[in-house]
């Protein structure tokens, strides 16, 4: 069993590495329970407990399920583990949720009650910007202020267009996998359009959009199809990028793009919450 200081070090290490996990914390106990208030556990996306302890089998299954659900939809849960007679007295059964509390049955001899708060710790969602056009620079600035981590992909000579970025990639070689949600905006303004789109469409991301006219986007997608990019991949491309706000200036276009990214992200989270 890890000490509290060890758990905090593990949490800090995983957060700095951008690795998703759920943190389960015992916040209240009544009567005899194996774990006491303040006990913590780090739970990985596959349901394994990486570090810490929150009690035995009495609470484990319910907490692991809550952790998986929290990592899927990004929402915290409060799990209340109670003996059968306590659940009956409340008129609830194991698996029911009321006022944000999920109930679970304690079948252990201790017959105690535990409340466990389960919170997802997820890497910041990323806006990945390919290109260094004025729109790209404006998107980077607005996305950062909206809470996204910003990755800039551009040739070395163009990197200076961006004052700040959480990560910089010279060229357009996006990592194939990333634990964070990724929203890709291609705004190369004629300097590497095809290369940037090939890179963006080759990886699995949550959103990919092209800043340019419909005519230009159509010509590029035709070329990409001839180069072997599948119709399914091309169908993911949003072009022109952004919500239809009638935007004209780079800053206005950036607002429409970041607003669209926020809308896509929140709709996805709502669907996950409905399924969970």
End-to-end CA distance of the chain: 31
Tokens found for residue 55: 């009690």
Q: Domain coordinates of the chain in residue numbers?
A: 4-121, 126-269
Helices 250-275 + 134-145 axis angle, to 10: 50
Tokens found for residue 118: 């389960």
Residues of the chain with pLDDT under 70: 1-5, 32, 58, 109-110, 271-276
Query: Widest CA span of the chain, in angstroms?
Result: 70
The domain 126-269 having CATH identifier 3.40.50.720: the answer here is: yes
pLDDT for res 5: 59
pLDDT for res 276: 54
Q: 101 pairs with which residues across the strands?
A: 78, 98
pLDDT for res 8: 85
Helices 193-201 + 214-226 axis angle, to 10: 70
Q: What pLDDT, in 10s, does the model give residues 210-255?
A: 999 999 999 999 999 999 999 999 999 999 999 999 999 999 999 9
Alpha carbon distances (Å) from 67 to 33, 80, 97, 202: 21, 14, 15, 31
> Which of 221, 197, 211, 228 has its CA nearest to residue 139?
211
CA distance 214 to 204: 23
User: Cβ(220)–Cβ(197) under 8 Å?
Assistant: yes
Containing 27, the helix (H) or strand (E) segment is: strand 21-30
């Amino acid at each position: 069993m890890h000490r509290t200081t060890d758990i905090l070090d593990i949490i800090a290490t995983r957060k700095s590495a951008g690795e998703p996990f759920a943190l389960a914390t015992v916040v209240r106990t009544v009567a005899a329970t194996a774990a006491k208030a303040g006990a913590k556990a780090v739970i990985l996306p596959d349901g394994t407990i990486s570090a810490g302890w929150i009690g035995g089998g009495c609470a484990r299954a319910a907490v692991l399920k809550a952790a998986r659900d929290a990592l899927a939809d990004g929402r915290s849960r409060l799990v209340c583990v109670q003996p059968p007679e306590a659940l009956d007295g409340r008129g609830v059964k194991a698996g029911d949720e009321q006022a944000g509390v999920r109930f679970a049955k304690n079948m252990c001899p201790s017959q105690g009650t535990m409340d466990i708060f389960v919170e997802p710790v997820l890497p910041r969602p990323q806006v990945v910007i390919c290109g260094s056009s004025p729109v790209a620079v404006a998107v980077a600035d607005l996305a950062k202020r909206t809470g996204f981590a910003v990755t800039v992909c551009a040739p070395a000579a163009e990197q200076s267009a961006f004052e700040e970025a959480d990560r910089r990639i010279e060229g357009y070689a996006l990592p194939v996998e990333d634990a964070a949600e990724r929203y890709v905006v291609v705004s190369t303004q004629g300097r590497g359009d095809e290369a940037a789109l090939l890179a963006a469409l080759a990886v699995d991301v949550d959103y990919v959009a092209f800043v340019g006219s419909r005519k230009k986007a159509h010509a590029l997608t035709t070329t990409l199809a001839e180069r072997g990019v599948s119709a399914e991949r091309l169908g993911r491309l949003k072009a022109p990028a952004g919500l239809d706000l009638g935007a004209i200036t780079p800053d206005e276009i950036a607002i429409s793009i970041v607003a669209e990214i926020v809308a896509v992200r929140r709709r996805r989270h709502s669907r996950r919450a409905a399924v969970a």
